[in-house]
């Protein structure tokens, strides 16, 4: 293999899941390669049972923890590649599982597209992305065919290309309920923190989760002040058990991988979005020549 290979594999039951993933895992292990499986606990148990003692050579990660915010998945694959030896490299990643919210599915689709941009032209490795055809909707499976160059060992005829995410039109929906709004300027960071802290406490947040929300909003507002003319609009609202915080400004972020690449020493450009991605349950960023919006959310549970 001389290039990054990104493939969606469809399965309807445990036997089909094993048939889609086990051969690549066994091939890599036989050649002293590296394997990381990021999936659910039941998939881990399934593979461990099929591999027997060879399972000790496989690294496992809980995708429902790692990938709750899909923006955190590419950094995990980067770390895996850095630590891998010279042998063949195989990743099994299942970021889309039944029960994902609509917003999460949108971000999973963007993540799958961005994988092609992030790893094309780099070290050769295979990444297989299982999709449960028995429990996922046809629209989700259709998206998988758009975002993966390969589907079930064939070239995807509907693959949109590695730069498709730059031109996709998927604007964020309007808040479903009333939103509190704050227009902030260059010297209003304290006001931003107080405003978000007040709204989050009213929503029921306290302790570390409250602190994380305030810090995330602080980072977004700081970005607006430093890189987008010094001002922005902050909105917060509650939707069921999720608290949303959104910052809009006049800046333009032209790197679709912003916040998914670890800044050296966590200093310099990209630091704020990196921190926000690792603090929040979900982060959605949309940017164009007309401005940027970053929306974060956290659940009460």
Longest dimension (CA), the chain: 60
Class of domain 180-299: alpha beta
Q: How many residues does the chain have?
A: 301
pLDDT tens per residue, range 250-289: 999 989 999 998 877 655 556 899 999 999 999 999 998 8
The H or E element spanning position 116 is: helix 102-119
Query: Where does 63-125 show beta strands of DSSP type E?
Result: 89-93
Dist CA 75 CA 36 (whole Å): 13
Instruction: Work out the end-to-end distance of the chain between its first and last CA atoms, rounded to an integer number of angstroms.
Output: 44
Q: Which of 6, 5, 282, 20 is nearest to 132 (CA)?
A: 20
Is the per-residue pLDDT at 40 higher than 90? yes
Dist CA 178 CA 223 (whole Å): 25
Dist CA 12 CA 34 (whole Å): 27
- Inter-residue contact 106 to 170 (CB < 8 Å): yes
pLDDT at 241: 86
- 8-state DSSP, 121: T
Dist CA 245 CA 283 (whole Å): 10
CATH architecture of 5-167: 3-Layer(aba) Sandwich (3.40)
pTM assigned to the model: 0.93
Domain boundaries, given as residue ranges, for the chain: 5-167, 180-299
Dist CA 246 CA 254 (whole Å): 19
Three-state SS for 226-271 is HHCCCCEEEEEEEECCEEEEEEEECCCCCCCCCCCCCCHHHCCCCH
- 8-state DSSP, 172: P
pLDDT tens per residue, range 138-156: 999 999 999 999 999 999 9
pLDDT tens per residue, range 66-123: 999 999 999 999 999 999 999 999 999 999 999 999 999 999 999 999 999 999 988 9
pLDDT at 163: 78
Domains 5-167 and 180-299 in one fold: no
pLDDT tens per residue, range 166-199: 666 678 999 988 999 999 999 999 999 999 999 9
pLDDT tens per residue, range 204-247: 999 999 999 999 999 999 999 988 889 999 999 999 889 999 99
């Amino acid at each position: 293999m001389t290039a990054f290979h990104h493939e969606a594999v469809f399965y309807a039951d445990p036997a089909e899941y094993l048939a889609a993933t086990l051969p690549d895992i066994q091939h890599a292990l036989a050649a002293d390669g590296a394997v990381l499986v990021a999936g659910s606990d039941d998939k881990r148990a399934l593979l461990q049972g099929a591999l027997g003692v060879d399972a000790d050579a496989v690294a496992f990660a809980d995708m429902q923890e790692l990938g709750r915010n899909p923006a955190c998945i590419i950094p995990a694959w980067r770390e895996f590649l850095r630590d891998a030896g010279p042998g063949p490299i195989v990743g099994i990643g299942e970021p889309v599982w039944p029960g994902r919210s609509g917003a999460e599915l949108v971000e999973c689709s963007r993540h799958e597209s961005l994988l092609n941009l992030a790893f094309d032209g780099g070290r050769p490795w295979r990444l297989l992305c299982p999709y449960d055809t028995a429990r996922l909707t046809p629209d989700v499976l259709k998206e998988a065919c758009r975002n993966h160059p390969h589907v079930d060992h064939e070239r995807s005829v509907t693959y949109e290309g590695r730069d498709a995410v730059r031109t996709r039109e998927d604007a964020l929906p309007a808040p479903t309920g009333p939103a509190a709004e704050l227009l902030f300027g260059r010297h209003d960071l304290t006001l931003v923190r107080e405003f978000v802290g007040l709204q989050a406490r009213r929503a029921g947040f306290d302790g570390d989760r409250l602190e994380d929300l305030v810090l995330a909003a602080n980072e977004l507002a700081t970005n607006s002040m430093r890189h987008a003319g010094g001002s922005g609009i902050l909105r917060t609202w509650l939707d069921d058990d999720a608290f949303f915080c959104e910052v809009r400004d006049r800046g333009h972020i032209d790197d679709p991988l912003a916040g998914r690449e670890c800044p050296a020493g966590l200093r310099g450009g990209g630091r704020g979005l990196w921190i926000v991605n690792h603090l929040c349950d979900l982060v959605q960023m949309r940017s164009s020549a007309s401005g940027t919006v970053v929306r974060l959310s956290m659940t009460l549970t």
